[in-house]
Amino acid sequence: MLKKVLIANRGEIAVRIIRACSEAGIRSVAIFTEPDRYALHAKRADESYSLGDDPLAGYLDPLRLVNLAVETGCDAIHPGYGFLSENANFAQLCEQKGIVFIGPKSSVIHKMGDKTQARDSMRAAGIPITPGSEGNLADLEEALSLAGKIGYPVMIKATSGGGGRGIRRCDTPEELKNQYPRVISEATKAFGSAEVFLEKCIVDPCHIEVQILADSQGNVIHLFERDCSIQRRNQKLIEIAPSPQLTPEQRQYIGNLAVKAAKAVGYENAGTVEFLLSGNEVYFMEMNTRVQVEHTITEQITGVDIVREQLRIAAGLPLSFRQEDIHFRGFAMQFRINAEDPKNDFLPSFGRITHYYAPGGPGVRVDTAIYTGYEIPPYFDSMCLKLVVWALTWEEMIARGRRAIDDMRLHGIKTTSNYYQEILKHPDFVKGQFNTGFVPAHPELLNYSVKRHPSDIALVLAAAIAAHVGR
């Protein structure tokens, strides 16, 4: 087993990895930049090291992180998600320095991170992909010609893109002419590459992703699917496992496709294969070569500790489970509680958390790194916490989700929690009928009113009394 792991990340995912290391008897090493000096992950790890004053530079410097791992006696690096987690050069540096990268090989990251290579690999393996360009587009003329053949709407995407960036939908040739240079510009700035490709836009599909695990002995299994259709501008808001919209036959088919895709590229460690589902048609979208933000709900329905399995696989151990051992029970749902104001076009709401009370009770899990008094810095992702609920039935899960959100107290900033309450009350969501068009189709859900809870009033009174006594 591994003995010491450097966690090349921050926030809640760093805390999640620290916990897994602790249970496995592995020492953990945290990193932080100045804005994160008082962050929870920096306090919970066995060792912590400063990367300097710049908020981002240290987290994005592969050579510095690998050298730090060597200097501190680490035998592995866990990249978490975001930052350098899908950076093939980072994984390659680890390989060169004799540090285990807790993820797939650098060659696989490179192949699946390049979306045109990923499409080519899936096409060769017999995995259905959306109609589109074979390789990168040469110029606008090729894009217009291909779009005319496959039919509008089309999507133009950055080859190295991710996180919802470098993507534009085009419904007409005029829109394609306008959006083509914009995507190239955004791709160049965000990903350092001007390469783009084009594919048919599947209108309002269900976004289904499958969690897979693969070890170095060639064993590959799936842990069923997650439904990530509740999203805004390609950014996920609420995730559900399993999808309430799949038939047993579709579930088995998509799960088998994900395993086939992973085997086709020689995948190792945890990963996610993402699909678009339109009626009975399934299309490969992309493969995420890392642990996902929403891995929590898969853990809740299967009982498999995905981060623990990542550590075991990285140590060269076989999977703890065979496919026939994996079953799911009930439903789980994750809410990304973001520091954003939904009523103001989801504008970020960074600042000091004046009071935080975590929800609890049966079937409730919270993954976070915030606490009362914590200052949310403006340099990073706006997610404050991941609220996860589980229940035996769909109806009980929705009720538990509403109760858990109502339990939570998070003051000092605006969050997306009240907006999620409106989604949970919508008849279509309650019936389990939704797709990626749900959020834009229901702008009326933003017209909610924020009601003061009796406990909120008590907090205000307590603060006023404390301020008066302190004079």
Active site residues: 290
Distance set, CA 220 to CA 118, 214, 317 (Å): 19, 4, 13
Least Cα distance to 8 among 26, 25, 38, 33 occurs for 33
Residue 19, number of CB atoms within 10 A of its CB: 16
- Helix and strand counts by DSSP (H, E) for the chain: 16, 22
Residue with tokens 């995905």: 306
For residue 244 the two structure tokens come to 């309430």
Residues 6+ apart with CB under 8 A from 237: 230, 231, 335, 336, 416, 420, 423, 439
DSSP 198-214: EEE--SS-EEEEEEEEE
- Listed as own residue / partner, the contacts of 39-47 with beta carbons closer than 8 Å and 24 or more positions apart are 39/10, 39/11, 39/369, 39/374, 40/15, 40/369, 40/370, 40/371, 40/374, 41/7, 41/9, 41/10, 41/11, 41/14, 41/15, 41/369, 44/15, 44/18, 45/7, 45/14, 45/18, 47/72
CA-based torsion, 171, 177, 182, 188: positive or negative: positive
Tell me how far CA of residue 92 lies from CA of 5, 66, 109, 371, 440, in angstroms.
Answer: 17, 10, 10, 36, 41
Distance of CA 119 to the CA centre of its chain: 21
Q: Which residues contact 207 (CB under 8 A, 6 or more apart)?
A: 227, 228, 229, 231, 274, 275, 276, 277, 285, 435, 436
User: Running DSSP on this structure, what letter comes out for residue 51?
Assistant: -
Asked if residue 153 has a cis previous peptide bond (ω within 30° of 0), the answer is yes
Q: Distance between CA 234 and CA 162 in Å, rounded?
A: 10
Helix or strand or coil: residue 279? Answer: coil
Q: How many CA atoms lie within 13 A of 295 on its CB side?
A: 27
